[in-house]
Structure 1
Amino acid sequence: MASGILNINKPPGMASFAVVSLVRRLTGVRRVGHAGTLDPTADGVLPICLGRATRVVEYLVNAPKTYYAAIRLGSATDTYDSEGTVTATGDPSSVTQEEMEAALAGFVGQIEQIPPMYSALKYEGQPLYRYARAGKTAPRQARTVTIHRLELRRFAPPLVEVELEVGRGAYVRTLAHDLGERLGCHAHLERLTRLRSGPFSLADALGLDELREAAEHGTWRELLYPVDRVLESWYAALLGQQHTRDACRGRLLVLTPVRQELVDLPLDTPCRAYSEEGEFLAILRYRGADRWQPERVFATL
């Protein structure tokens, strides 16, 4: 079974799950999943994991993501984006670029966000959007999210364009809405493009037509990134034959550090493990005293 990751450029107007279904149909691989939902109206990087690569989805979901967003000042909507019904209006004509930059700076770092009602988060087993579509409101708890970077790229009221890098769970729609409230003129997200997800960038992303053509010619496997591409920022361990066998069996490993920086690592530090032949074997977690526990095993003996 083929395993690896496709860096897909999702077009606007298509749901993330629809891309998963298309990849499954074109490749014939049954185990397929995406690493971080993009709203149907958004476009850009959507990593699609196939086969054993579905086991690294959680690490991609946790990776920082970079977006380019166009925010329209002067009106708020119930969905926080351009697809929704206008719920409030205001006059953005008095907002200066300096005020905008100061407001944006206030969102950088760890902030509290209340998820939008039109989202896939669940309350009592049902997605919030189902309550919203029924005209109901469900209780939502504020969540702490991280905005690593938020920069103004174009100031042309009522439209402003920003580039931002965010951590897991951050809603750009909510940020656009909250920005409008902070400025006192209301706002909503008009366009959103994901520029990067972990190691995958828009510049290298694959269009769906390119994938269809590769599937027709039987060359789509050549487009796969290896499973461990997601983990390249981690430490790596090269294991000998006995340690390789133990890792593949999920046994605790005792590995002598070869560099000073590897002494007294924090507990639960992750590591990639490889055989002497360079085969990606497993994800290890540090348990202290030079001990490493296989967390996910990808190779077989």
Structure 2
Amino acid sequence: MQEKEPYGEVFLVNKPYEWTSFDVVKKIRNTLKIKKVGHAGTLDPLATGLLIVCAGKKTKSIETYMGQEKEYTGTFVLGKTTESFDLEREVVKVADTFHLTVEEVKAAAAQLTGDIMQVPPTHSAIKVDGKRVYKAARKGKEVKLEARPVTVSVFEITEFKNPDVHFRIVCSKGTYIRSLARDLGDILGVGAYMSSLCRTRIGEFKLEEAQEMEELIKEIKERPHENL
């Protein structure tokens, strides 16, 4: 009798708004009824778009997927900011933006293109001394984060409707788009935060190939159980 091949599968998911990446993993894990399920690169709860989820023996490929180039589209809002540089925290006004031109915004984006040093946001899943920094940030504790090298190969301003900056960004693993919002606002001297974000690509995998959660879960439930 031929031995059964160990189960392994890769899912391309369009992460729903306000779901954590772990929410997606947990839902797929519970539906598959197996323990070995993980994702290849966190998306913040307020972001949407492509999330790669690996199950069974395919979890060995997670690091490979995580290391691949990412592409995002979204919107930054100038003249205001938040503690987390997205809509997770309260929005506060920083400065007027009426004087800004699209040329100035594009010039600022150009300064954040290429091989750059970037400080991650304190409201992030990075670990310092074994603890997630966002947990300390939410308690009002100060955490010192060092700048890290990242590559932003494309920082395109697709539209500027003052104060909204619509963008397309292609970047390396470890790049924080919220940090680019913060840094763009700093260069322009008016502050900024990220109001929307969608991951459209990871390596060769595109968002158009991804399934909606509801559709995916329904499909898994309809499978013959012995296939797992």
Where on the TM-score scale, by shorter chain, does this alignment land: which range? over 0.9
User: Does the 8 Å CA contact 1:2/1:221 hold for their aligned counterparts?
Assistant: no
Distance 1:132 1:153 in 2: 32
1:102 paired with 2:102, answer: no
Correspondence for 2:76 among 71, 92, 104? 71
Distance 1:132 1:171 in 2: 17
Structure 1 runs of 4+ off > 3 angstroms?
Answer: 219-222
1:84-105 Cα deviation digits (max 9, x unpaired) = 1245511111110111111111
Distance 2:104 2:95 in 1: 16
Given the superposition, is the C-alpha separation of residues 211 and 169 from structure 1 closer, same or farther in structure 2, using an over 3 Å criterion?
A: same
SS in 1 for 2:211: coil
Distance 2:202 2:226 in 1: 21
Superposed, 1:1-301 pairs within 5 Å as: 1-86=6-91, 89-218=94-223
SS in 2 for 1:141: coil
Report the counterpart of residue 3 of structure 2 in structure 1.
Answer: none
Given the superposition, is the C-alpha separation of residues 209 and 70 from structure 1 closer, same or farther in structure 2, using an over 3 Å criterion?
A: same
Higher relative contact order (CA 8 A, sep 6+): 2
Structure 1 runs not aligned, ≥5 long: 223-301
1:244-277 Cα deviation digits (max 9, x unpaired) = xxxxxxxxxxxxxxxxxxxxxxxxxxxxxxxxxx
CA RMSD of aligned residues (A): 1.7
User: Does the 8 Å CA contact 1:75/1:89 hold for their aligned counterparts?
Assistant: yes
Report the counterpart of residue 272 of structure 1 in structure 2.
Answer: none
Distance 1:87 1:113 in 2: 23
SS in 2 for 1:9: strand
Letter in 2 for 1:160: V
SS in 2 for 1:37: coil
Structure 1 residue 219 displacement after superposition: 6.9
Given the superposition, is the C-alpha separation of residues 159 and 220 from structure 1 closer, same or farther in structure 2, using an over 3 Å criterion?
A: farther
Given the superposition, is the C-alpha separation of residues 41 and 219 from structure 1 closer, same or farther in structure 2, using an over 3 Å criterion?
A: farther
Report the counterpart of residue 290 of structure 1 in structure 2.
Answer: none
Letter in 1 for 2:162: P
Letter in 1 for 2:199: R
Structure 1 residue 60 displacement after superposition: 0.7
Structure 2 runs not aligned, ≥5 long: 1-5
Letter in 2 for 1:197: I
Structure 1 residue 216 displacement after superposition: 2.7
**Higher CA-based Rg:** 1
Letter in 2 for 1:111: I
1:42-63 Cα deviation digits (max 9, x unpaired) = 0000000011111111111110
Report the counterpart of residue 260 of structure 1 in structure 2.
Answer: none
TM-score, normalised relative to structure 2: 0.93
SS in 1 for 2:200: strand
